[in-house]
Amino acid sequence: HEFYFGARQDFAEVGAIRGEAMAILRLAYLDAIASKWNLASHGYQEARHRVAETGDRLNFMTATMGKCWTSLQIGEWSEDLIGKIEATSRVAKDNDAIAYGISWGLAFAYAGRDALDNNEDVIIALRAARLAHTIFALFNTPEQQEIILRAFGGQDIMETLYGDLIPGLADIGDWEQIFAVANNLNNSNLETLSLNEIAAYLPQGVLLLAYLILEQHLVAWGITSEGLVGQYNLDQFDTQPFNSSLFIAHALEWIDEVSGGIVDSTSSAALVQSLLEPFDAQIAAANHLLIVPFTEEFKLFPFNALPWQYQPLGKQKTISYLPSPSLLNKIPSLDPTTKGALVVGNPDFVYMENVQPRNREFINSLPVKRIEAELIADLYQVKSLIGIEATKEAVMAEIARTPKIIHLATGGYFQTNNSILGVPLAEGKSLSSEDFISLKLKADLVILSAGYREQSHLRGHSLTELAQSIIQAGARAVCVNLWSADDLATAIIMQLLHKGLLAGESPAQALWEAQQQLCQITVQQALDFCQVAQAKIPWQKEADRADRAIFTKYMGELMAFGGDYPRAAEAYAVAINILNSVGRSSEAETLQSEQRRYKLLAVHSNSFNPEQLIFNSPEYWVPFVIIGDWH
């Protein structure tokens, strides 16, 4: 310390400004590591002024960062510090001082961890975390993020730091800051909105429920137009200490049960107790629920299937989702110039692009998607893009005409490891997230009606990422199905949804009414739908006749569901004969065992019940959800 103090005096006497500035900088550093924070803060401030005279940008950044660091320690906090850190880090980035900039982010992150580990003020830890987050957000290329991860042994330091902060913030009741932390954990690149700003965007009667799953806690908020109306920090689940892995595993197991047609109130009881019961009064008072799940594994959790007051929640309230609350101020206003609809159905020659021809696996067509698209196109009096017509060029050209509604009825998504690569189109092409963003959409609603074609269920975060890119591209809302619902039920509910939209209903209201109507569809009504659909398929081509056979099979299934096994067996026999005649013998063979079963049941067949409800189980209507604007 004496050496640098003497050096400072010597440099000052001879007018060596740069030398004097460097000596002051070293003195400030020595005071800081000795925890003489007031002296260090004053020293760094003086160093900033002296270094600025020399034009030395790197050491000016060092003095600025040091001033912020010491200000943090002595409580000289102001929001201006965030701006200074961001500006200084940007200079480092622009001058390729990547390691230098990241090192300061690490310093602030460690300062936050140290404050928590030493049981110091949680507010100091929060401020350090905000400064670190500000720096790391600028160094966001994959290579730079890899450097940050390696510095912490592969651990996401910010996720750990924020996760450790939340219980402390909950203890002091600072739910505004917890919400800001949750936004940061959500890794959103969008501007963060405060609780009051979010409340200002919510119409009366809307309840926003936000959930954040941490390793040992479940944190939730309830927000209305009046502000924060409820919050809780749960550390128990199903009578045991809360564990995020066990909670998510329980939730995913319940989703698999619902999608498989198993309705078991026992398995849902603990979920209801954790997710809904703390907000019972607020839910009862609301007309619409807006769900914001901050945690990736919990995106698009089917809240509508949870039992609430003895019925599925989705039968009592309209529900929609937002990937991030910050999207509330990003959803565009209604555009009066949009009109009509773009309807795409069952693209042909679908295979993964950039795969060698000998390794390509063509995905079989789904005839129901073709009929779904044609019936919806009839409602809007437009021509649909079907089969080989559904090329990427044709679809993008139609989107450029700014349709009000976009409906993509396909056999699923190109995906890898449960991540979506794109919506498949004809000739090995697809619409990726990047494609959607480049299109500058103006649609009120984009509907992704996917059949999944025996692929594994996509977890919600993959669909959310695609939906968020569509919303950021300019669409107001997106409708998706969380799993591969019954093809016939999907075609019917989609037609009901569009009828509601054409009647002027909002996306959420139109979907809710379509779901209620689907639950009341009888066997006879479903048979009538199949007959209308089959009449739209010509006889001339073998592929068309095979599609007609599929609808004949559907009618057989419906007759069996209504108890008419003799006619079910006859319908299957017709379908088998058609499939054999067009060279689809393998498909015909798969129907034969079911036909034999129907023949056996026909011996003891009861009378046909055409009024039997067929799609009232949650597996048929629950998977369809609205993401984005609901009103």
> Tens of pLDDT along 47-84?
888 888 888 877 888 888 888 888 877 777 777 777 88
Residue with tokens 């989702």: 321
Segments of the chain with pLDDT less than 50: 154, 355-361, 453-458
User: Selecting from 1.10.274.10, 3.40.50.460, 1.25.40.10, 3.30.1300.10, what CATH number does the domain 2-185 have?
Assistant: 1.25.40.10
Q: Regarding the domain delimited by 195-329, which CATH topology (the fold level of the hierarchy) does it fall under?
A: Nucleotidyltransferase; domain 5 (3.30.420)
Residue with tokens 């924020």: 162
How confident is the model at residue 558, as a pLDDT? 96
How confident is the model at residue 198, as a pLDDT? 93
How confident is the model at residue 105, as a pLDDT? 82
How confident is the model at residue 483, as a pLDDT? 85
How far apart are the C-alpha atoms of 418 and 459, rounded to whole Å?
Answer: 7
Q: Can you give the residue ranges of every domain in the chain?
A: 2-185, 195-329, 341-504, 523-602
169: Cβ contacts below 8 Å, ≥ 6 apart? 122, 126, 175, 177, 178, 181
**Sheet containing strand 414-416, strands side by side:** 414-416, 419-424, 430-431
**Region 523-602: CATH code:** 1.25.40
Angle at 238 between CA 319 and CA 263, to 5 degrees: 50
> Tens of pLDDT along 15-36?
888 888 888 888 988 988 888 8
Fold identical between 2-185 and 341-504? Answer: no
For 273-314, give the DSSP string. HHHTGGGHHHHHH-SEEEEEE-SGGGTT--GGGSEETTEEGG
How far apart are the C-alpha atoms of 485 and 448, rounded to whole Å?
Answer: 13
Q: Regarding the domain delimited by 341-504, which CATH topology (the fold level of the hierarchy) does it fall under?
A: Rossmann fold (3.40.50)
